[in-house]
Amino acid sequence: MDNRFVLVTARQEQFNWLSESLTGLGVIIWDKGESRNSLIELIGSIGVRVVFLDFNPDATPRSAALAEELLKVFPSLWLVGAGKLDSGGNILTAMRAGAREFIEDNIEAGQVRDVVQKLLDKAPPLPASPRGKMLALIGGRPGMGTSMAAVHLALTLKTEFKHDEEVLLLDFGYPQGDASLYLDTKLSYTLSDAIRSVRRLDHALIKAAFTRHKSGLAVLPLPQNMSELQEMSPAEIMNLLALLKFFFKYIVVDLGGFIGSDFLLHVLGIADKTLLLCEQSVPACRSAHQLLQRLENKGFDRKRVGLVIARHDTKIGMSPRQVNKMLELETQATLPNRYYALLECANEGRSLLENNPRDAYVQHIRQIAQDFDRSAVPTAATPSGLAAWLGAFSSRLKKAES
């Protein structure tokens, strides 16, 4: 992974100088420091080990306070102060705030690279596993089948696409714990536990603490006491989610029925793709429209959301095209109405992937998984339709002949 740095400053000339100085050593991203939460999300999502802060005299108080906040969220982060010398006062403030080094503005590029290279040699490495991708499923109200779709997507990615890679299901939907219930898993380690132990987060902890389905799929649910969710800061949530993308190849997030827009925004801000499940009905469309409106009012771009028609039925008068128009979204997939088959699976604690891997519902789930990561190829293609029937007939015929 190429080195990535962040410079927090309002001075464009400082960014230009540092960017030129670090040419060949890495890429530096300029953040003007207008939003602390956005900065924390940026640092967590792109994998940064070194952050430069403007410690020029007029910016020193603000940078010192920001340094302390950043180190609370990212204890292993290496901070570097940058600025003109002010009789040593700003250097001392920077060091007290947690800076590991101080670079004087406009010194020669070679000196800057030497200092930064030494820091990179000392700084703890980022996790070696490849960056993962996160897919979030949302619904305007409970009952859209979001949790069941999330379960099947996660299982498909784990068992058919990347069985040798780590895949995680974040069970964040409402009613609480439905996805875990469908998987018949016993939960002990929750989101609040993961946030409390974020400083120790590594492969060993993930292997030992995270709940596992028999397929090897990891599951992380919300805390049983939902009041704990209110005690988590946006920075803590986004930092954890961003870090999880270093340890898991795929992360599927079930957010079905969760209408608290703030928590949704924290998760959707980290997700690489978001799909909204909606049925072919006016009430469902109204609820979905209200959810999208709340997210837009908070600054979320509706264009980042794709539409999945849930429980699709050609007999229903409202067509997918009408749902598209009402929600101003493009349909990216449809899931056929398999209510009773899925209900039977829920009662058995099994998936439709196990009970009937050739079911139309499973076929559409596979397509969503393929669209999510077009570079992924199923490890073993599952025959369907006429090919499946011919394969079964041929097998029976051989047995009869023998």
Quick one: 201 and 307 in the same domain?
yes
Quick one: 221 and 199 in the same domain?
yes
Would you say residue 399 lies in a domain? no
Quick one: 186 and 241 in the same domain?
yes
Query: Whats the size of the chain, residue-wise?
Result: 402
Identity of the residue numbered 70: L
Q: Can you read off the two tokens belonging to residue 140?
A: 């305007």
Given a cut of 80, whether residue 390 has pLDDT beyond it is no
Quick one: 63 and 156 in the same domain?
no
β-strand pairing of 133-139 with 27-31: unpaired
3-state secondary structure of 109: helix
Q: Which residues contact 14 (CB under 8 A, 6 or more apart)?
A: 7, 54, 56, 82, 105
The total domain count for the chain is 2
Quick one: 226 and 285 in the same domain?
yes
- Picking from 63, 88, 122, the residue at the C-terminal end of a domain is 122
CATH of the domain at 207: 3.40.50.300
Average pLDDT over residues 171-196: 89
Lowest mean pLDDT among 85-89, 187-191, 350-354: 85-89
- The model's confidence at residue 146, banded by pLDDT at 50, 70 and 90, is very high
- Picking from 64, 95, 122, the residue at the C-terminal end of a domain is 122
State pTM to two decimals. 0.67
- The model's confidence at residue 46, banded by pLDDT at 50, 70 and 90, is low
pLDDT one-digit tens code per residue, 256-311: 887 666 788 888 888 889 999 999 999 999 999 999 998 888 778 888 899 999 98
DSSP 304: G
Q: Is residue 219 within 8 Å of 212, Cβ to Cβ?
A: yes
Q: Tell me the C-alpha to C-alpha distance, in Å, between residue 143 and each of 53, 175, 186, 271.
A: 48, 9, 23, 23
β-strand pairing of 305-312 with 331-336: parallel
Quick one: 158 and 258 in the same domain?
yes
Q: Is residue 22 within 8 Å of 67, Cβ to Cβ?
A: no
Which residues sit opposite 307 in a β-bridge?
A: 276, 331
Quick one: 162 and 299 in the same domain?
yes
Would you say residue 396 lies in a domain? no
Given a cut of 70, whether residue 393 has pLDDT beyond it is no
Q: Using CA atoms of 214, 136, 73, 216 in order, give the dihedral in degrees to the nearest 10.
A: 10
Select the highest-mean-pLDDT range: 32-41, 143-152, 180-189, 390-399: 143-152
CATH of the domain at 18: 3.40.50.2300
Q: 118-144: string of b/e by CB count within 10 Å (b at 16+)?
A: ebbeebeeeeeeebbbbbbbbbbbbbb
In this prediction, residue 386 carries a pLDDT of 42
Would you say residue 114 lies in a domain? yes
Quick one: 146 and 261 in the same domain?
yes
Quick one: 330 and 254 in the same domain?
yes
Quick one: 198 and 219 in the same domain?
yes
In this prediction, residue 217 carries a pLDDT of 95
For residue 159, the enclosing domain spans 133-385
Quick one: 246 and 278 in the same domain?
yes
Quick one: 116 and 208 in the same domain?
no
Lowest mean pLDDT among 100-114, 235-249, 337-351: 235-249
- Picking from 122, 150, 165, the residue at the C-terminal end of a domain is 122
Lowest mean pLDDT among 161-165, 190-194, 324-328: 161-165
240 — alpha (psi -120 to 50), left (phi > 0) or beta? alpha
